[in-house]
Amino acid sequence: MKIHYFFRREYDKGFYNLELVAWLEEEETSRLGQKRLSFTRLERLNIFLSKDNNSYHNHRIEHDFGEESCHGHYSHTRRELVKEMEKQSLFIIDRRNYERFRKVALNLYKRQPLVDFSKFKGEQTYTIRTIIGD
């Protein structure tokens, strides 16, 4: 078994924008009896954080992981997997850097302030109009 690690980091001036994906490679036998590779997604971490919380406070994290994941990929060779990941702007990375990026991203997210609901007091100053019907 081998694990393939991929990352994408978009360089935005005011944001941290990172995606990490890990795929487990296993051998399988097709219905026709052919030996081929199968890829199961072990983890996907997608994180988007604003750097300056005073002027723009917007954060998103999507973290999907599991040892018995049901997310598979249709590729049956390493070359196909790498090619498909490159189409999504994901590039190969080694395990050490993958784990380092994941640790930094999760620590950045933990340090982000949550929404302060006490800031939103008073009456609503705008109108919401809903049109019901076809």
Model pTM score: 0.78
> Is the pLDDT confidence value at 5 over 70?
yes
**Cα within 13 Å of Cα(50), Cβ side:** 10
- Span 11-30, pLDDT tens digits: 778 888 899 999 998 888 87
Dump pLDDT digits (tens) for 77-125.
Answer: 889 989 998 999 999 999 999 999 999 999 988 888 887 777 777 776 7
Confidence of residue 70 (pLDDT cuts 50, 70, 90): confident
